[in-house]
Structure 1
Amino acid sequence: MEDDSPNKISITICGDGGCGKSSITLRLVRSQWIHEYDPTIEDSYSVTRSIDGLPYFLSITDTAGQEEYRGLWTASNLKSDAFLLVYDITNESSLGALDHFMEMIDIEAEQRLEDNYRLLKELGDSAEGLEVGMPPPVKIVAGNKCDLKDGRIISARDGLEYARKNGCGFMETSAREMVNIEETFARK
């Protein structure tokens, strides 16, 4: 009998306030775009998507971008399988704001490697060939609002260079125009 249960993937969406994290999330989950800006403290959503013919259950956490709420970033956010780091192509400081989140994610990735190494060492020869512990998280940088070409301040090249420098995938998106929303969440 085949197992039809979808693979579960937890995704945390982070970035500066007003860069479109909630818009991207609501576009994916509800196929809606909301024009009004309403700062998020933290919202959770879930959706099932088929990627390469396989069902995936995406558990999405949309986090606060305002600096005063960043302390609320919980340890559970850092246990995510993937991170979507969003910046606004029309706001120069929004790309630099990703450094804060990137630093925390990199610390978490290092901790996972240390934990996995320790676990492998404890298991000894019985663990040979096994994958144990949590893999490093997938990181994707998304330059949002690519529909606002006239207001662009951050070039696609600069966004791509930032992503490469930090070991991330890269996409430009538009929640308003539904550009690369599904594709961004389908990246591995």
Structure 2
Amino acid sequence: MADKISITICGDGGCGKSSITLRLVRSQWTSEYDPTIEDSYSVTRTIDGLNYHLSLTDTAGQEEYRSLWAASNLQSDAFLLVYDITNTASLEGLTWFLDMIDIEAENRLEENARLLQQKGLRVRGRREDGWRFPPIKIIAGNKCDLKDARVVSSKYGWDWAKSRGCGFMETSAREMVNIEETFACMPAPFSSHWH
């Protein structure tokens, strides 16, 4: 049986969220930009010998859809926050998503504290008892194949992510760089609790 992990992919429009998702799910790359409202996909991967069912939600980057985003996606186990290395504003645009995710993380901590008070230590780490792990957050600097157009350095992206408590990868959906590896990072914190 595979453990299920829900992952929301978010970021500004045009940064490559759908391209990353489709690369993972279908091993396809498309150069056409078709704004997404919200698409869902499922894929199973074996990571460190364990099977995981990844439930992916590829979300809208356009600002007019943000109220929908907050309402429907904050329950995810993990978030892949994507920016375009050729567009500095797309990195700064992740701040809004991170603020929403951090509020959700606080809510989970408060709920876990309430559970511990009510039911004792036996509920710690047990999802079936309502325990909610803090969300995993990974920042992905996409389009790393566009070296000549780069405006956000790897070091700046790394420092920006680390200062906000996030993991960091640079990816290229076009050249299939770090796509599988980025998603493989997400189950790691859960596996020690589940097995």
The answer to whether structure 1 residue 79 and structure 2 residue 69 are counterparts is: no
For residues 93-143 of structure 1, give each alpha carbon's deviation from its aligned partner in whole angstroms, at most 9, with x where no partner exists.
00000000000000000000000001111124xx35733510101000000
Are residues 1:13 and 2:6 paired?
A: no
Q: Is the 8 A contact 2:115 2:123 kept in 1?
A: no
Aligned to 1:37: 33
Q: Could you tell me which residue of structure 2 aligns to residue 95 of structure 1? A: 91
Indicate yes or no: 2:137 matched with 1:139. Answer: yes
Alignment partner of 1:122 is 2:142: no
Q: Which letter maps to 2:13?
A: G
Q: In structure 2, which of residues 42, 46, 51 is the aligned counterpart of residue 50 of structure 1?
A: 46
Letter in 2 for 1:150: D
SS in 1 for 2:86: coil
Q: Distance in 1 between matches of 2:123 and 2:117?
A: 13
- Tell me the alpha carbon deviations over residues 25-81 of structure 1, each in whole angstroms, 9 at most, x when there is no partner: 000000000110000000000000110111110000000001111111143411101
In the TM superposition, structure 1's runs of 4+ consecutive aligned residues that sit over 2 Å from their partners are 127-132
Query: Take 1:46 and 1:176, find their aligned partners in 2: how far apart are those partners?
Result: 21
Number of residue pairs the alignment of both structures matches? 182
Partner of 1:111: 107
Determine if contact 2:41/2:55 at 8 Å carries over to the other structure: yes
Give the alignment's TM-score, normalised by structure 2. 0.91
- AA matched with 1:51: I
Structure 1: how far apart are the matches of 2:134 and 2:124? 16
Q: Secondary structure at the match of 1:73?
A: helix
Structure 1 residue ranges without an equivalent (≥5): none
The 2-side partners of 1:48 and 1:114 are apart by 32
Tell whether 2:151 aligns with 1:157.
no
Instruction: Report the TM-score, using the length of structure 1 for normalisation.
Output: 0.94
